[in-house]
Amino acid sequence: MSFASAQFLAFFAVLFVLYYLIPRRHQWKLLLVGSVFFYFFAGWYCLVYIGVTAVTTWLAARKIGALQARQDAWLRERREELNKEARKARKAADKKVRWRWALGSMLLNFGILAVVKYTDFVLGSVNGVLSAAGAGTQLPLANLVLPMGISFYTFQSMGYLIDVYWGKYPPERSLGRFALFVTFFPQLIQGPISRYNDLSQTLYAEHRWDSRQIAMGGMRALWGLGKKLIIADRLAIPLRELTAAPEEYAGLYVLAVMFLYAVQLYADFTGGIDITIGVAQMLGVKVTENFERPFFSKNIAEYWRRWHITMGTWFRDYVFYPLSVSKGVLKLHQKARARLGEAGKRVSVYLCTMILWFVTGLWHGASWNFIVWGLLNGVVILVSQECEPLYARFHGRFPGLKGTFGYRLFEVGRTFVLMSAIRVLDVYRDVPLTFRQVGTVFTSFRPSVLWDGSFLELGLSAGDWLIAALGAAALVVCSLLGRREPVRQRLVRRPSLAWGGCAALVVCMVIFGVYGIGFDATQFIYNQF
């Protein structure tokens, strides 16, 4: 059941009415029933996968919590008789036991994710090696079906488990409440990857009817749907054409692919997240923001702090930091420093950064294009880091330049172009093809396609291009207007303007939305991750 479907609208309408009619103490239970129902639409077998993750994570976290409580009680009782070393020894021994429970659950759940998501990637890579070696045999692919949102709910659950292991908060006692945290339907399709201590603040609370919050949520969901139907799905048409026969569309077309895909992905992903956050807000639940005007970033590191924020912080907190402070990496740091001096200080940090981006690429998809995409991101971030002294020297020579509007615009433009260029790996889904295509930008540019009507043969009329351009301009304007205060917040203070705006958006969606033109118009791009 996609967000952009009549099914979802009907499902949500019924849930919404019931939610505010039933006794408030049962609201979270209704959300759980609704979430299970929503997930059931993706296939009954999906429920088995998510059920296993919810139950095993809950059990492991409960066990870890119980072990921690037992250790605390034991230490409290013997406070007087134990010296520092004895306390330390007991803590270390208990930590090992807790780690075994955490590790067991992580191996099981990441194992499930790895098997369903990466089996064919591994088999395909082995087949590639076999054929390169001239072997006549090929391994059959498993063709396993990927349960909806498995990357998102697995990461969310494992984040919770690690937090409990680290003692950040006690485990959730109720299996039902924890199951709701894992299955909460608005964020099942494409995140955000919520943290338990954030989401639980409002997920289980009793919510009274709040017209302002409901209006704010409704407007946000509507805005997200507009982004999806008017801009993202419209731009999907020429992109499908341009990538279906890449050899016919080289040179300037490749630049078009880069920039059109940047806008399409932004409209699609932020549109989906707007629906998620808006729908949750209508139910009184606060979901973490996942974007902070990423296309206004000055460099790629900043871009990644503002794009898909919850994924970035997940990898930072649960992969990058633990890896960087592990004994092996710290030893490497000492050795590199002893051997290489000051420059050696960066070896372990850079190694961990590249591992982080390798894993981030792998998370995005089981194919080499995503791995190369991830590694390229890491390389650009590290090169920027290395170039910092150069930048500092440059700005030392031209001290007035840094704060100017023109230089800021240059930085934002540079980041946008760089990110769009890296992201093109995601479009062609084939590493050699992507590099060949990008190469044609320099070898067969052919700017005449801009004015000889070629772009009108990509499935969009002149009017469609105009609507897409106006839509993209509206995104930029709203982003700028919302810097201090979200536009919705201003609209909600003037109900007549808010109603007028919503009605206009609905009319635009009905007239200009893209429906049923031979592709799955309702599939969100990040759904596949």
176 binds another protein (CB under 8 A): no
Binds another protein by CB under 8 A, chosen from 99, 110, 209, 321: 321
CA distance 274 to 217: 9
Q: Is the peptide bond before 192 cis (omega within 30 degrees of 0)?
A: yes
For another protein, which is the closer residue by CB, 33 or 82? 82
Torsion angle, CA of 41/46/52/55, rounded to 10 degrees? Answer: -20
Q: Which stretch binds another protein (CB under 8 A): 253-261, 331-339, 474-482, 509-517?
A: 331-339
Q: Which stretch binds another protein (CB under 8 A): 349-357, 368-376, 410-418, 500-508?
A: 349-357
Residue 383, classed as helix, strand or coil, is: helix
515 binds another protein (CB under 8 A): no
Asked whether 30 and 19 are in contact (CB, 8 A), the reply is yes
Q: Least distance to another protein from the beta carbon of 107, Å?
A: 19
Binds another protein by CB under 8 A, chosen from 90, 286, 316, 490: 316
Q: Which stretch binds another protein (CB under 8 A): 105-113, 142-150, 325-333, 409-417?
A: 325-333
Determine the distance from the C-alpha atom of residue 272 to the mean position of all C-alpha atoms in its chain, rounded to a whole number.
Answer: 11
Q: Least distance to another protein from the beta carbon of 330, Å?
A: 5
190 binds another protein (CB under 8 A): no
For another protein, which is the closer residue by CB, 89 or 144? 89
For another protein, which is the closer residue by CB, 179 or 300? 300
334 binds another protein (CB under 8 A): yes
The CA distances from residue 84 to 73, 98, 166, 275, in Å, are 16, 21, 21, 53
Amino acid present at 242 = L
Q: Which stretch binds another protein (CB under 8 A): 275-283, 317-325, 468-476, 478-486?
A: 317-325
412 binds another protein (CB under 8 A): no
Binds another protein by CB under 8 A, chosen from 43, 322, 413, 439: 322
- CB proximity list for 366: less than 8 A, separation 6 or greater: 117, 118, 120, 121
For another protein, which is the closer residue by CB, 355 or 505? 355
Binds another protein by CB under 8 A, chosen from 43, 111, 128, 167: 167
Q: Least distance to another protein from the beta carbon of 301, Å?
A: 6
Tell me how crowded residue 304 is: count the other CB atoms within 10 A of its CB: 21
Tell me how crowded residue 334 is: count the other CB atoms within 10 A of its CB: 11
Binding to another protein (CB under 8 A) within 82-121 occurs at 88
Binding to another protein (CB under 8 A) within 362-401 occurs at 385
The mark string for 123-162 relative to another protein (x by CB under 8 A, - otherwise) is ----------------------------------------
Asked whether 412 and 297 are in contact (CB, 8 A), the reply is yes
The CA distances from residue 437 to 58, 130, 450, in Å, are 48, 27, 18
CA distance 412 to 349: 26
Three state DSSP letters for 185-249: HHHCCCCCCCCHHHHHHHHCCCCCCCHHHHHHHHHHHHHHHHHHHHHHHHHHHHHHHHHHCHHHC
264 binds another protein (CB under 8 A): no
Tell me how crowded residue 313 is: count the other CB atoms within 10 A of its CB: 17
CA distance 522 to 529: 16
Q: What are phi and psi of 283, to 5 degrees?
A: -100, 5
Give the DSSP H/E element, type plus range, for residue 83: none
For another protein, which is the closer residue by CB, 88 or 414? 88
Asked whether 265 and 423 are in contact (CB, 8 A), the reply is yes
Q: Least distance to another protein from the beta carbon of 362, Å?
A: 19
Binds another protein by CB under 8 A, chosen from 337, 423, 429, 436: 337
Binds another protein by CB under 8 A, chosen from 264, 353, 369, 437: 353
324 binds another protein (CB under 8 A): yes
Contact positions vs another protein (CB under 8 A): 88, 166-168, 301, 305, 316-317, 320-322, 324-325, 327, 329-330, 333-334, 337, 345-346, 348-349, 352-353, 385
